[in-house]
Amino acid sequence: MQNLNTTLLIIGGGPGGYVTAIRAGQLGISTILVEGESLGGTCLNIGCIPSKALIHVAEQFHQTQHHSQHSALGISVSAPTLDISKSVEWKDGIVDRLTTGVSALLKKHKIQVVQGWAKVIDGKTVEVGDTRIQCEHLVLATGSKSVNLPMLPIGGPIISSTEALAPKSVPKRLIVVGGGYIGLELGIAYRKLGAEVSVVEAQDRILPAYDAELTHPVHEALKHLGVKLYLKHSVQGFDSASNTLQVLDPNGDILNLETDQVLVAVGRKPNTQGWNLEALNLAMNGSAIKIDNRCQTSMRNVYAIGDLSGEPMLAHRAMAQGEMVAELISGKTREFNPTAIAAVCFTDPELVVVGKTPIEAEAAGLDCIVSSFPFAANGRAMTLESKTGFVRVVARRDNHLIVGWQAVGVGVSELSTAFGQSLEMGARLEDIAGTIHAHPTLGEAVQEAALRALGHALHL
Amino acid sequence: MGTHVIKMPDIGEGIAEVELSVWHVKVGDMVVEDQVLADVMTDKAMVDIPSPVHGKVISLGGVPGEVMAVGSILISIEVEGAGNYKESAQPAAVAVSAAPVAAPKVEAVAASKPVAASRPAAVCQGPMVAREADERPLASPAVRKHALDLGIQLRLVRGTGPAGRVLHEDLDAYLAEGQSNASAPIAAYAQRNDEEQIPVIGMRRKIAQRMQDSTQRAAHFSYVEEIDVTAVEELRAHLNEKHGASRGKLTLLPFLVRALVVALRDFPQINARYDDEAQVITRLGAVHVGVATQSDIGLMVPVVRHAEARSLWDSAQEISRLATAARNGKASRDELSGSTITLTSLGALGGIVSTPVLNLPEVAIVGVNKIVERPMVVKGQIVIRKMMNLSSSFDHRVVDGMDAAQFIQAIRGLLEQPATLFVE
């Protein structure tokens, strides 16, 4: 058996793990990173990046199709056709470039990458195949896995998001189980690629994590696109002989929905199985590893970051945690203390939530002003053929400190930057209202929302 | 854009080195014309170095405490236009094309104020809201990180920014406060192992050098005499009652200055400077009396020039003006040098005896101890008199004991018969 020694050992090469490694390398910490599959983790390989690529393909196809029928813009093209294998090839090219880039960055920072599946022996020892690695600090960054439903085992026509991101063909009919952001992003993309899409959601509305006002434009868009919604319906099982999904409707009756594929997108759970995590006997927080505000687990010098440490399961959270952990290990005093972590749904229209929503602010006992500005009154939105959606701000009534931003509309994912900065810098309504926002941009709606909260919106 | 370089100026005649005391700006600051960039020190005078230009500080030439050669680069400022400094490699063409096209104006007022120790009260347009005990403190990511680096708990820091935001300056203020409070809460009998190192720079270094120089070179001897100041104190009280309102109050110092002036007429060897390297004693006609003064940054000796030509009130006003100037750091180099003899007084803290250190190259220093009422025997009767000691030191290399004693006795005679101070 080969023996390796290092200061820092990271299990998992996703956004959390590889960022930890890069920062550790910058700080001169000798580091080994263990990855069983491909560098970049879920995010780069089967998550954020490939889904955005597929969404882009779907949108382009959809737009072209739109122009081929009745384009108000005066464009006429013939009806498009889709070679989905080429689309997937294009997507794979992007993934490839990014994962190769991560590999190059790790090499540049002198990180030793050990390929293989890690098996934890104790808090300072990990085995990978017949290599035994001894470390002083152990960072667990094994990410998350899709939640499976016992009555819908993945296989054949029943797929998870991983398979949905590498389609061999576009099914005629697709049922998405789960009306959360993953299900809707993919459901909308498949609809735009030509599939008949239905969404089954157990709760009474889509994107149940967000309030109804915010999700309403997405709901309207789904109706407009012809996505069928089965709200308050729960899945009972799948009959592979007749290719029908059995769902229970709110009245207690069973519906049989015929389909070609079923996409199970009911959430993700921390990846705690299969690498002998039990050996550490760490304190847990539900299904996630319990961490403090320094990402320290219940065992000294063992850290957990990213999805493994629970919600919110977002790549940018994992990266920030990883950067902090590397600095902690280098001897700096650090804690993970963001004011807000932006959440973005790449549905159509897009949806952004940063900081507290009105409901959360109220629950926190804050007396708040809530004000929104519609994109219907924004010139740039009109030129993008987009009139739905709005920007909403939540600010304390007493000192006008902004505690939250939400937006829904075409392209609003990019507003998350401005929202995050305003919250982290502790901006007040007057600060945003007093910042000149370029015209014509969607960002003007941000300034106008703040102005409206102060009682003097200019364009409304 | 060009670079304007300011060199360490020649402040005093023939001084080759100047000590950099304090920077009032840092790299990246915008400065305006006439804004004070740094304080430098020569001898005992603190001199402001103002900026001759508008611009942005791009480098500082030294650290406080550094002794810099006259003519070395003190500071570089990025200015509009060509500046006064060209890097040798810079091609000439650049200067031609550097016509400033509506270059951003330096914000003259707002950006330029150096952060002083006492910050102005924060201007908050909205209502200030007190932070709840469990409420998360409002601070930017950089401030949060800095607080962690400094080991400060943000929730303990008062935020003076908008909406109670904790600013970088608030951390500085908290830190400064913490240091001044640090010694207070220590239990009475707790062992202490803390130590503090204070660099001996600036004023303190000058004082240290001069005191050491004086005690190593001069052959000090001290002479103490007791003086009955009842009469001169009565005179002083009378003059203050009569003229205090119009001419200002008199302390004992102007009487002492007058006594020195009169006594020195007969003892020219004591109003002198001894250049021990050239082996020359210079006796001076003018009596320039140095008056030792305590200031925040240390001992200073402003000089009452031509005391021989000053009336009591004239001396009094000059002493008071100089003392204020010295304490405020405003005394000029001329006002802090050139004395021929020095008076040192600790006032009420004067004690009964002191051993003053000579202010070289002078040869005498007269120390004033406190006035006390004591029972004295006068003409066979025990009476209460106001008594004061004079503790004086002389450079025995050039002042003989007999001369020194006679000089002090002359002063005693003058003060005990105050009319003789004014009889020509």
Residue corresponding to tokens 């009319």: B419
CA dist A148 and B91 (Å) reads 69
**Is this prediction's ipTM beyond 0.85?**
no
Report CA-CA distances (Å) from B21 to A404, B24, B116. Answer: 48, 10, 16
Residue corresponding to tokens 């999904």: A245
Token readout for B95 is 């200067």
CA dist B375 and A412 (Å) reads 95
Order the strands of the A254-258 sheet from edge to edge. Answer: A234-239, A244-248, A254-258
Residue of B nearest to A423 (CA): B140
CATH number at B163 reads 4.10.320.10
Cβ atoms of residues B57 and B77 within 8 Å:
yes
CA A328 vs. chain centroid, Å, equals 27
CA dist B231 and A109 (Å) reads 87
Neighbouring residues of B173: CB distance < 8 A, sequence distance ≥ 6: B119, B158
pLDDT of A417 reads 97
Alpha carbon of A383: minimum distance to chain B alpha carbons (Å): 34
Mean pLDDT by 10 residues, chain B (424 residues): 79 70 85 85 74 84 80 83 60 38 39 37 42 76 88 86 87 79 58 78 83 92 94 93 88 93 94 92 93 82 92 91 84 85 84 91 93 92 94 94 94 94 85
Q: Which of B97, B117, B134 is the last residue of a domain?
A: B97
DSSP assignments along A298-360, one per residue? SSTTEEE-GGGG-SS--HHHHHHHHHHHHHHHTT-------S---EEE-SSSEEEEEE--HHH
Q: Which conformational region is residue B87 in: left (phi greater than 0), alpha (psi within -120 to 50 degrees), or beta? A: beta
Q: Which conformational region is residue B393 in: left (phi greater than 0), alpha (psi within -120 to 50 degrees), or beta? A: beta
Residue B262 sits in the same domain as residue B375 = yes
Residue B416 lies in a domain: yes
Token readout for A324 is 């902090």
What residues make up the domain containing B241? 211-422
Q: Which of B97, B117, B141 is the last residue of a domain?
A: B97
Q: What is the largest CA-CA distance in chain B?
A: 98
Query: Which one of the listed residues B146, B228, B396, B403 is annotated catalytic?
Result: B396
CA dist B104 and A243 (Å) reads 70
CA dist B315 and B287 (Å) reads 12
Which ranges in B38-167 belong to alpha helices (H)?
A: 92-97, 141-150
Residue of B nearest to A332 (CA): B149
Residue B160 lies in a domain: yes
Neighbouring residues of B410: CB distance < 8 A, sequence distance ≥ 6: B262, B263, B266, B267
Q: Which conformational region is residue A362 in: left (phi greater than 0), alpha (psi within -120 to 50 degrees), or beta? A: alpha
Judge if pTM exceeds 0.90. Answer: no
Under an 8 A CB cutoff, do A399 and B149 touch?
A: no
Residue B229 sits in the same domain as residue B319 = yes
Q: What is the pLDDT of residues B272-320, one digit of tens each?
A: 999 988 999 999 999 999 998 887 777 888 999 999 999 999 999 999 9
Instruction: Tell me the residue length of chain B.
Output: 424
Residue B103 lies in a domain: no
Residue B218 lies in a domain: yes
Residue B152 sits in the same domain as residue B91 = no
A66 is catalytic: no
Cβ atoms of residues B340 and B271 within 8 Å:
yes
Residue B203 lies in a domain: no
Query: Which one of the listed residues A67, A316, A439, A459 is annotated catalytic?
Result: A439
| Domain count for chain B | 3
Per-residue tens of pLDDT for chain A, all 460 residues? 899 999 999 999 999 999 999 999 999 999 999 999 999 999 999 999 999 999 999 999 999 999 999 888 999 999 999 999 999 999 999 999 999 999 999 999 999 999 999 999 999 999 999 999 999 999 999 999 999 999 999 999 999 999 999 999 999 999 999 999 999 999 999 999 999 999 999 999 999 989 999 999 999 999 999 999 999 999 999 999 999 999 999 999 999 999 999 999 999 999 999 999 999 999 999 999 999 999 999 999 999 999 999 999 999 999 999 999 999 999 999 999 999 999 999 999 999 999 999 999 999 999 999 999 999 999 999 999 888 999 999 999 988 999 999 999 999 999 999 999 999 999 999 999 999 999 999 999 999 999 999 999 998 8
Residue B170 sits in the same domain as residue B58 = no
Residue B312 sits in the same domain as residue B382 = yes
Residue B416 sits in the same domain as residue B269 = yes
- For B179, the enclosing helix (H) or strand (E) is helix B168-181
Q: What is the pLDDT of residues B42-86, one digit of tens each?
A: 765 677 888 888 888 888 888 887 788 877 888 888 887 777 765
CATH number at B24 reads 2.40.50.100
- For B325, the enclosing helix (H) or strand (E) is helix B312-327
Residue B228 sits in the same domain as residue B374 = yes
Query: Chain A: which residues have CB within 8 Å of chain B?
Result: 332-335, 337-339, 396, 398-401, 424-426, 428, 430-431
Residue B366 sits in the same domain as residue B227 = yes
Q: What are phi and psi of B88, to 5 degrees?
A: -60, -30
pLDDT of B46 reads 73
CATH number at B298 reads 3.30.559.10
A-facing residues of B in 149-208 (CB < 8 A) are: 149, 151, 161-165
Under an 8 A CB cutoff, do A426 and B141 touch?
A: no
Residue B176 sits in the same domain as residue B308 = no
Residue B186 lies in a domain: no
Residue B349 lies in a domain: yes
Residue B363 sits in the same domain as residue B242 = yes
Considering only CB atoms, A334 lies closest to which of B148, B161, B162, namely B148
Cβ atoms of residues A201 and A233 within 8 Å:
yes
Under an 8 A CB cutoff, do B163 and A337 touch?
A: no
- For B68, the enclosing helix (H) or strand (E) is strand B67-69
Considering only CB atoms, A426 lies closest to which of B126, B151, B165, namely B165
Residue B367 sits in the same domain as residue B261 = yes
Q: Which conformational region is residue A426 in: left (phi greater than 0), alpha (psi within -120 to 50 degrees), or beta? A: left
Alpha carbon of B145: minimum distance to chain A alpha carbons (Å): 7
Cβ atoms of residues A201 and A283 within 8 Å:
no
Residue B55 lies in a domain: yes
Q: Which of B180, B202, B223 is the last residue of a domain?
A: B180
Q: What is the DSSP letter of A287?
A: T
Interface test with B, best of A328, A341, A401 (most B CBs within 10 A): A401
Residue B158 sits in the same domain as residue B252 = no
Rg (CA), chain B: 29
CA dist B92 and B99 (Å) reads 13
Under an 8 A CB cutoff, do B138 and A431 touch?
A: no
